[in-house]
Structure 1
């Protein structure tokens, strides 16, 4: 999604001005001389135009050739790449824990891809409605100590870049990512350590509206033993210096933020087309 010009995208402008000495019949041999000079200018101009067109064919114009943008590519990842690429079985989080400690998360469940009807609380669903819901993918991870569980989600929207920017601006201006009534729901999978990970067990969360892809990335974390949480706290506040809430002291803000960040990075890397990969 790096904007910029493309070679061959413009054509040289050729104007046919009066030849030097116009009006002076003696310089170009009278009327015949003026005709010859004009013809020479025409030939020169056509040569320049033809050269520019040939250059355009040789260089190629990705936009005219139908090459999809990274934004478009990202929007189709939910059905174009394996689940292990979007949600790796193991995610390493160097420096992602409290105080810069390393973290490792292991995937314990992947939800079937679905719509958004029952995946969000009504108010959050209303906030996200302007960008639509093309598909929702979710996976739940557990940390190496099996103390915390975290659900990370990728909401693929139907929105264009302008709509995503508008939603991102609203989240920033209104502080929507900090509101406890806009927490994402977890995915509690049967026969896993996350079986008791329900709405009342939500401890910390993060929501990121991407503007370079039609995707909303979120994560919500809680204790693996199923304990309820009376005062959940957003990841930004829970990871701030001096935070003393239970989610902050346990590092649950780091769990949600760290895992969401790494899934987001992986998504962006996957969305880059081969022609845009650095050499």
Structure 2
């Protein structure tokens, strides 16, 4: 069973440590967070995004369900699974949220990999060099939740997404967002583009890029804090 869960907000850069030995300790400690953090901490029942919406609007998301932890089998489309295969998959954890207006649904998750620091840096560099995080054929798959606003959240409903390969932890953070009404999307847009000022695409105007980015940010931040706490003297 998933030990318990803890996802909150984003923080770029390195773990909250100073020395190389502390960073190394943080990297290894992060590998087991999926079974050491309570679910309600890993994926809080409510996430608040002050200023995280279009134009700096506040956002709030409510968790619909957290999936049992498991393997990555069938969790990703073939090309994304292949891209991530170099780092392996120890465990996959994910949850689905709905925004407070019940307009959008978002699946957020983390792949805890089997890679060492060099392996994660190599994968991160590949994603950057080949802009793999912006390719629609490498979108993460959603986790639909029966009897909720995300019941119809399938592959055809994916509208905006983000995939982040961390190089200071054996973790890949991802999020994918769609409309809560279950409509099909023919022109998905990566969150990094959809949040740009002046974007006029449907995902951008609906704030779906902001949802994907905002939720992934908060998940990543909580995990970083948890890893830092495990190496505090």
* 1:142–1:161 CA distance, 2 compared to 1 (3 A): same
* Aligned counterparts of 1:123 and 1:5: Cα–Cα separation in 2: 34
Residue of structure 1 equivalent to 2:54: 98
* TM-score normalised by length of structure 1: 0.75
Residue of structure 2 equivalent to 1:81: 37
Is residue 67 of structure 2 the alignment partner of residue 111 of structure 1?
A: yes
Of 12, 19, 34 in structure 2, the residue corresponding to residue 4 of structure 1 is: 19
Of 68, 86, 93 in structure 2, the residue corresponding to residue 130 of structure 1 is: 86
Any idea what SS the aligned residue of 1:155 has? Answer: strand
Is residue 195 of structure 2 the alignment partner of residue 252 of structure 1?
A: no
Checking the alignment, whether the CA contact within 8 Å between 2:26 and 2:230 is kept in structure 1 is: no
More strand by share: 2
Is residue 125 of structure 2 the alignment partner of residue 202 of structure 1?
A: no
C-alpha displacement of 1:276? 2.2
* Aligned counterparts of 1:78 and 1:174: Cα–Cα separation in 2: 29
Checking the alignment, whether the CA contact within 8 Å between 2:76 and 2:141 is kept in structure 1 is: yes
Residue of structure 1 equivalent to 2:8: none
* 1:123–1:165 CA distance, 2 compared to 1 (3 A): same
Checking the alignment, whether the CA contact within 8 Å between 1:89 and 1:107 is kept in structure 2 is: yes
Superposed CA deviations along residues 124-179 of structure 1, whole A, max 9, x for unmatched, are 00000000000000100000111100000111000001100110011111111100
* TM-score normalised by length of structure 2: 0.90
Is residue 176 of structure 2 the alignment partner of residue 161 of structure 1?
A: no
Is residue 195 of structure 2 the alignment partner of residue 239 of structure 1?
A: yes
* Aligned counterparts of 1:207 and 1:197: Cα–Cα separation in 2: 18
C-alpha displacement of 1:81? 1.3
Count how many residue pairs are aligned between Structure 1 and Structure 2.
218
Checking the alignment, whether the CA contact within 8 Å between 2:161 and 2:191 is kept in structure 1 is: yes
Residue of structure 2 equivalent to 1:147: 103
* Aligned counterparts of 1:91 and 1:213: Cα–Cα separation in 2: 23
Unaligned runs of 5+ in 2: 1-14
* 1:270–1:228 CA distance, 2 compared to 1 (3 A): same
Of 219, 222, 226 in structure 1, the residue corresponding to residue 182 of structure 2 is: 226
Range with greater deviation from structure 2 (196-205 or 240-249) = 240-249
Checking the alignment, whether the CA contact within 8 Å between 1:134 and 1:157 is kept in structure 2 is: yes
C-alpha displacement of 1:5? 7.5
Checking the alignment, whether the CA contact within 8 Å between 1:208 and 1:217 is kept in structure 2 is: yes
Unaligned runs of 5+ in 1: 7-61, 63-67
Any idea what SS the aligned residue of 1:272 has? Answer: helix
Which of the pair has more CA radius of gyration? 1
